[in-house]
Amino acid sequence: MKVWPLFALFSLSVFAYEPENDQVLRFEHSPFKDVQLQCERDKHIVPKRSELQLDNYALLAADNGERVAIITLTNTAGGQRIFNQDHIVAVMADCARLFPQAFEIRLAPRQQTSLQIHFGRTLQPVLQLISSQ
């Protein structure tokens, strides 16, 4: 029958991609999430002012240095707003500040959403995310 070759092909495609262990994202503990950091380095790098509120976030990292965050935002304005990489900054362990990779999302008034943002590869872990609110 022709079912066996299809099953074999499907089985190979399921196991064809297996990420390297150093590429697997893992949640990172965020002990500085609610702490006022006094980092002076790159203090001039600040998020763009907006009426978007960063409600919560979780940090993820891979052994290869990939840094990612899952964020929840709320548009506190009475009208539609656009949120992009200029509205959030990561404070790194060496006190450097880093904008995420480019993204853009539109939010209706009072709308809340969650999304994943990427900071690329870096040796320094993310200590905290900051927004203008």
Domain assignment present for 14: no
Domain assignment present for 58: yes
Indicate if the pLDDT at residue 12 is higher than 90: no
Q: What is the domain extent for residue 77? A: 20-130
Domain assignment present for 70: yes
Tally the domains of the chain. Answer: 1
Confidence bin at 100 (pLDDT 50/70/90): very high
List, in sequence order, every beta strand (DSSP E) within 19-111. Answer: 26-28, 52-61, 66-75, 81-84, 89-92, 97-98, 104-107
Domain assignment present for 10: no
Measured CA to CA, the distance from residue 120 to residue 86 in angstroms comes to 15
What CATH number should be reported for the domain holding residue 32? 2.60.40
pTM over 0.85: no
pLDDT for 15 equals: 58
Domain assignment present for 76: yes
Confidence bin at 40 (pLDDT 50/70/90): confident
